């Protein structure tokens, strides 16, 4: 595809996952071809490029887990394996010729706002300069390594699911898994039949519901029918998104509690099928459903009932060369230790060092907790926009939809910078404070503050997600209210009214 060049001004996008790809496509389509995307991996796809642990599956119906402008019927199941999501990303990239704009294997280490430009440095010492920078770094990026004494002493193979070693042979091995979130519930059923034994170290039980609508195969004739009728494909995806939205809203704001009650019943029905009462009791959560992100799996409980599967709920005391020592003094010997301990969701763009106006360091600005204006902009960081920043909706809804809304929201601002109309634009400190004060005030009433520990909570224990309906966030992303931004022109600055 050839794109017209509308401005000499340059945009740097950091990250070529779903969000970064959407940014690049939207900029190119709008005629701005002076775009460079920096991507630390060797290919597009972000978390779908780095993750490849056994059993990895998309837990959102795949047709709705696509760009709204590039729906695809090319999935073999409703919830397909990761290879199909990865292939989708690569196909979209090829279709839009994104690879011509992406610098692969380049991780941005620093971004400094100097003389109204963003100065970028990569970890390999290269530099670049742009008028606008978009941080599309995603949240499933910085691996969470648990702080357990003795971790480095383990003599066997130690692997984090987010950095899976495909040469690792689990056949006949004694395997330990720490963590029982979405990743674990996909991993365990995929490996249970090949390992000699599997001990799952569970700190907190999760609510595990059956897949919405099951996980039926999609036949070639069904796929062909969708290829032949793009409108039907779009309608199908929209229907799926509507039903997820209804469920997410139901968990969060349904005052009747009916959605949560229904989901809980489905979880309880599945728990009821576990034959061993002790195992059933240990797998039954003791906190309100929805407090942590719901997990979908049909196969996790059957896997945990196999003879070679063992659930360990004694706390982990330390890791030793031969295995894990639990609080009851028992040493659980193993050959392989798998960390399914997730991500540091609140790191956002870090460890990148980002300095805004007058050299202010983002790490210092966020020292007391991460915040932003509507998840996309930060005061004192002009001409910088984020996707999936603090308080973006991050529950069971499709993050691709949210990313597209956010891009639609800040794109007109970027266009005014690129056209030379604005010298700079940044979130107003006052508007950001008002916005965040409102968010914080509404959090104690949300399900996330119901007393469980989850990655929704920041270091102060405040949920850092969108505390209202999906529609209310979508609405707030329709148009930027310029009263919430400070704009600079060559000769003047806007004032917040």
CB closer to ligand NAP, 11 vs 182: 182
User: Which of 35, 44, 58, 274: binder of ligand NAP (CB under 6 A)?
Assistant: 58
Helix, strand, or coil (residue 245): helix
Number of residues that bind ligand NAP (CB under 6 A): 25
User: Which of 17, 179, 375, 393: binder of ligand NAP (CB under 6 A)?
Assistant: 179
Of residues 283, 485, 456, 403, the one with CA closest to residue 25: 403
CB of 454 to ligand NAP, least distance (A): 7
CB closer to ligand NAP, 148 vs 279: 148
CB of 181 to ligand NAP, least distance (A): 3
Residues 144-163 that bind ligand NAP (CB under 6 A): 146, 148
List, in sequence order, the alpha helices (H) in 325-443: 362-365, 399-418, 429-442
Rounded-to-integer distance, Cα 79 and Cα 213, Å: 10
User: Which of 14, 27, 32, 59: binder of ligand NAP (CB under 6 A)?
Assistant: 59
Of residues 140, 205, 165, the one with CA closest to residue 338: 165
If one asks whether residue 50 binds ligand NAP (CB under 6 A), the answer comes out as: no
If one asks whether residue 11 binds ligand NAP (CB under 6 A), the answer comes out as: no
If one asks whether residue 180 binds ligand NAP (CB under 6 A), the answer comes out as: yes
β 323-326/132-135 pair status: unpaired
If one asks whether residue 131 binds ligand NAP (CB under 6 A), the answer comes out as: no
Only one of the segments 14-22, 58-66, 279-287, 463-471 lies at the binding site for ligand NAP (rule: CB under 6 A); that segment is 58-66
Helix, strand, or coil (residue 464): coil
If one asks whether residue 480 binds ligand NAP (CB under 6 A), the answer comes out as: no
User: Which of 21, 208, 316, 337: binder of ligand NAP (CB under 6 A)?
Assistant: 316
CB closer to ligand NAP, 35 vs 402: 402
β 174-178/336-339 pair status: parallel
CB closer to ligand NAP, 83 vs 224: 83
The total number of residues shown for the chain amounts to 497
Rounded-to-integer distance, Cα 151 and Cα 143, Å: 15
User: Which of 453, 475, 479, 496: binder of ligand NAP (CB under 6 A)?
Assistant: 453
Rounded-to-integer distance, Cα 222 and Cα 231, Å: 14
Site string for ligand NAP, 250-289 (x = CB under 6 A): ----------------------------------------
CB closer to ligand NAP, 17 vs 181: 181
Of residues 152, 170, 153, the one with CA closest to residue 161: 170
List, in sequence order, the alpha helices (H) in 105-174: none
If one asks whether residue 140 binds ligand NAP (CB under 6 A), the answer comes out as: yes
CB closer to ligand NAP, 279 vs 360: 279
Given a contact cutoff of 8 angstroms between Cβ atoms, the answer to whether 178 and 341 are in contact is yes
If one asks whether residue 170 binds ligand NAP (CB under 6 A), the answer comes out as: no
Q: Which residues pair with 241 in a beta bridge?
A: none
Given a contact cutoff of 8 angstroms between Cβ atoms, the answer to whether 151 and 319 are in contact is yes
Please enumerate, as own/partner, the contacts of 435-444 that have beta carbons within 8 Å and a separation of 24 or more: 435/373, 435/374, 435/484, 436/371, 436/391, 439/391, 439/467, 442/467, 442/468, 443/467
If one asks whether residue 341 binds ligand NAP (CB under 6 A), the answer comes out as: yes
Of residues 411, 380, 379, 431, the one with CA closest to residue 477: 411
User: Which of 13, 170, 182, 470: binder of ligand NAP (CB under 6 A)?
Assistant: 182
If one asks whether residue 46 binds ligand NAP (CB under 6 A), the answer comes out as: no
Indicate the angle between helix axes 258-272 and 230-253, nearest 10 degrees. 90
Rounded-to-integer distance, Cα 401 and Cα 396, Å: 12
CB of 322 to ligand NAP, least distance (A): 19
If one asks whether residue 248 binds ligand NAP (CB under 6 A), the answer comes out as: no
If one asks whether residue 113 binds ligand NAP (CB under 6 A), the answer comes out as: no
Helix, strand, or coil (residue 451): coil
CB of 426 to ligand NAP, least distance (A): 30
Binding-site ranges for ligand NAP (CB under 6 A)? 57-60, 140, 146, 148, 178-184, 186, 203-204, 293, 316, 340-343, 453, 455
């Amino acid at each position: 595809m050839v794109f017209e060049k509308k401005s000499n001004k340059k945009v740097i996008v950091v990250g070529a996952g779903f969000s970064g790809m959407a940014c690049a496509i939207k900029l190119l389509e709008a005629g701005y071809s002076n775009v460079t995307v920096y991507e630390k991996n060797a290919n597009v796809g972000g978390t779908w490029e780095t993750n490849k642990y056994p059993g990895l599956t998309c837990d959102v119906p795949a047709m709705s887990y696509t760009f709204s402008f590039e729906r695809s019927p090319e999935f073999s199941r409703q919830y397909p394996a990761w290879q199909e999501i990865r292939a989708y990303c690569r196909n979209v990239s090829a279709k839009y010729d994104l690879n011509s704009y992406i610098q692969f294997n380049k991780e941005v280490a620093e971004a400094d706002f100097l003389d109204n430009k963003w100065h970028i440095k990569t970890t390999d010492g290269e530099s670049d300069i742009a008028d606008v920078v978009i941080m599309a770094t995603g949240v499933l990026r910085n691996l969470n390594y648990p702080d357990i004494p003795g971790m480095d002493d383990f003599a066997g193979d130690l692997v984090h699911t987010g950095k899976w070693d495909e040469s690792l042979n689990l056949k006949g091995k004694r395997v330990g898994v720490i963590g029982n979130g979405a990743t674990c519930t996909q991993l365990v059923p995929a490996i249970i039949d090949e390992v000699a034994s599997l001990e799952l170290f569970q700190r907190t039980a999760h609510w595990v519901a059956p897949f919405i609508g099951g996980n039926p195969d999609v036949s070639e004739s069904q796929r062909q029918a969708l290829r032949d009728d793009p409108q039907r494909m779009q309608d199908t995806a929209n229907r799926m998104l509507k039903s997820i939205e209804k469920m997410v809203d139901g968990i969060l704001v349904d005052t009747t509690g009916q959605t949560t009650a229904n989901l809980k019943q489905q979880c309880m029905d599945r728990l009821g099928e576990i034959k061993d009462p002790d195992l059933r009791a240990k797998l039954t959560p003791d906190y309100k459903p929805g407090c942590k992100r719901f997990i979908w799996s049909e196969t996790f409980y059957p896997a945990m009932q196999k003879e070679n599967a063992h659930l360990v709920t004694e706390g982990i005391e330390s890791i030793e060369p031969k295995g894990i020592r639990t609080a009851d003094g028992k040493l659980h010997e193993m050959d392989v230790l798998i960390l399914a301990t997730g991500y540091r969701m609140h790191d956002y763009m870090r460890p990148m060092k980002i300095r805004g106006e007058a050299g202010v360091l983002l790490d210092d600005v966020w020292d007391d907790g991460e915040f932003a204006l509507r998840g996309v902009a930060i005061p004192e960081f002009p001409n910088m926009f984020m996707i999936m920043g603090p308080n973006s909706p991050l529950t069971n809804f499709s993050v691709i939809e949210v990313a597209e809304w956010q891009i639609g929201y800040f794109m007109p601002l970027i266009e005014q910078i690129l056209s030379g109309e604005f010298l700079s634009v940044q979130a107003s400190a006052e508007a950001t404070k008002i916005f965040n004060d409102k968010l914080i005030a509404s959090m104690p009433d949300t399900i996330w503050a119901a007393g469980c520990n989850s990655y929704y909570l920041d270091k102060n224990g405040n949920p850092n997600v969108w505390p209202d309906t999906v529609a209310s966030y979508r609405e707030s992303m329709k148009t930027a209210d310029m009263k919430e931004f400070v704009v600079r022109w060559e000769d003047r600055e806007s004032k917040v009214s």
